[in-house]
A = this chain, B = another copy of it.
Amino acid sequence: MAIPHPYLLFLGDAPDQLAAKTGAGVAQWRPDWCLGQHSLPGCQADLGLPEMTLEDAAEAGCRTLVVGVANRGGRIEASWQDSMIRALQLGMDVAAGLHARLTDLPAVAEVAKLENRQLHDVRHPSRGFEVGTGEPRTGRRLLTVGTDCSVGKMYASLALEEEMRARGMNADFRATGQTGILIAGDGVSVDAVVSDFVSGAVEWLAPANDEDHWDLIEGQGSLFHPSFAGVSMGLLHGAQPECLVMCHEPTRPHLRGVPGYSVPDIGMAIEFNEQCARLTSPGARVVGLAVNTSAMGVDDARAYLSGLADRFGMPAVDPLRDGVGPIVDRLI
């Protein structure tokens, strides 16, 4: 079930701005959906939204309290529960992308039931899926893939949606991770799906569509990551993408979380992703490179991107610094 908006973003007692990263993502990509933020005493994060009481937020029309803060371990702090319960009593749903489940909190679950409101644990699939079929389907689909985890696949997908919509194209971001789901209001956290059903879940998430409609599917992990390549493979096959955008972070010393594994060469990553994608989408090809150059100076970044564009004969951009216009140009 889709998460109703507008949202009130809950920041809790976030010790710093980074702890409210999820809230920041939602506020950045869905500014129209975010009417305000709600903090507890001691909160050190600020998303620049109006600070609202729960009562004011309900009055203003907020339909869901979205937990925009995370702590180590993905727990739900006892101190957050009063706000959740009050929000439910005021007629709001509550949504969170934490490891712990809202539905496992007896007091919160009881009030949700009493008030007939929904608890959205977006990290945990709320429905079953079929096994993937690999059958061809209509519509156009682009999947962001990466040399590693956490290299900007969600950001690139959302930037593509924004750019396409600004040009009047028919495009939808399809979320496969918890922050993406809070931003999209819907989606499937594929790494939490039982392995047999991953490609089927993605077929469900991005079904047959109009001939001119683009699904911009958020990638996860990397085919080169020893922990998660299976997830990436199932996602790639289920997505059945016509186009891939390869995401990369050039300054990383090794793959995230696994010091023994080096980041693959982009050329090798392009070739291998295309090879694997072609099982279910025979014409699949990488059409652009989205590089997170935040750790590089402006001049170095420009030179690096320009070198990549020359080497691979396709647009190479930093979505944050340059936008993704050149990639969309190429798709038209």
Contacts and interface: CB of A to CB of B under 8 A. Distances in A.
A45 B132 CA distance: 33
Nearest to A196: B191
Interface in A129-149: 131-136
Contact of A233 (B229, B260, B261): B229
B230 A133 contact: no
Interface stretch (A33-41, A70-78, A220-228): A220-228
Contacts of A44: none
A190 interface: yes
Given A226-B133, A227-B131, A195 B199 contact: no
Interface residues of A, number: 36
Given A135-B260, A194-B195, A235 B230 contact: yes
Contact of A134 (B195, B227, B233): B227
Contacts of A234: 195, 229-231, 233
A68 interface: no
A243 B260 CA distance: 21
B224 A229 contact: no
B231 A237 contact: no
A258 B130 CA distance: 14
Interface in A238-280: 257-258, 260-261, 276, 279-280
30 contacts: A131-B227, A131-B228, A132-B226, A132-B227, A133-B226, A133-B227, A134-B226, A134-B258, A134-B260, A136-B260, A191-B195, A191-B196, A192-B194, A193-B195, A194-B194, A195-B230, A195-B231, A195-B234, A196-B228, A196-B231, A198-B230, A199-B230, A200-B227, A224-B279, A226-B237, A229-B233, A229-B279, A230-B232, A230-B237, A231-B234
